[in-house]
Amino acid sequence: MTAPPAAKRVIGSISAVIAGVVLLGAVVAVSECDRKVLSHLQRRFQKPRKAGDAITAVPKDIERHAQFLARAKEGDIDVLFVGDSLTDRWPRVGEWSWLKLAPFKPANFGVEGDCTEHLLWRLEHGELDAISPKVIVVLIGGNNVFYFADEKPEWTASGIEKIIAEIRKRSPSSKVLLLGIFPRDEKESRVRRTIAEVNRAIQHFDDGTHIRFADVGAQFLDANGDIPSDIMPDKVHLDAKGYALWYRSLESILPEMLK
């Protein structure tokens, strides 16, 4: 039985509305995706990287910086985490393991997309001025390697060294737990190889007193050296299981450093 013309017009209108809603949703989703991809590409394909870039402070995410300054004024921070998205995402993606850190009175000053120069700028502009944490956990440098194909490992290592020096200058009573950059990408990739070189360089910043180096990245790899999808779905960012592993690696280190 054929629908009458009026009914066809109604059905057609409804279908058009539904299609429009679906299309709008797709456009919004694609636009958001494109925004992130574009941001990533802009960082990767901008002017060539130079030796001094990783140690030259550059402002970024000023609003987050203001939030951290406000949080610092509240005080009551024994363990401060600083770094990039791996640190930034922990309270949200790994909520349950982050809550387990509560006895250590933690604060999270991680910022998505930060390179060494961005963290350096935040430290130089007061994020430690109102606090003196017992331990500052530093995980930074992965984006230097990931975003810039021409970034040399010694440049990233120099950026990390300057960050450590800035922390020691502004909060001399704090101990520093410097973490090796976590593995990213495929095991034979340029990114993975460069990260390994950076970690070999920065392990020497451990002075046995104020600065401790810990490379806990092996726990995020399987027996073949690959990154399981239930730990890092995109081979960069941790899932809840990955954050649980990170917490487990700190269970014995933090209490010892807090003594």
Outline where 128-204 has alpha helix (H).
142-147, 153-170, 190-202
Catalytic residues: 85, 234, 237
Strand, helix or coil at 141?
A: coil
Which of 222, 225, 202, 224 has its CA nearest to residue 213? Answer: 202
The amino acid sitting at 40 is H
Q: Return contacts of 43-49, CB within 8 angstroms, 24+ apart.
A: 43/113, 43/143, 43/147, 43/148, 44/147, 44/148, 44/149, 48/150, 49/148, 49/150, 49/151, 49/155
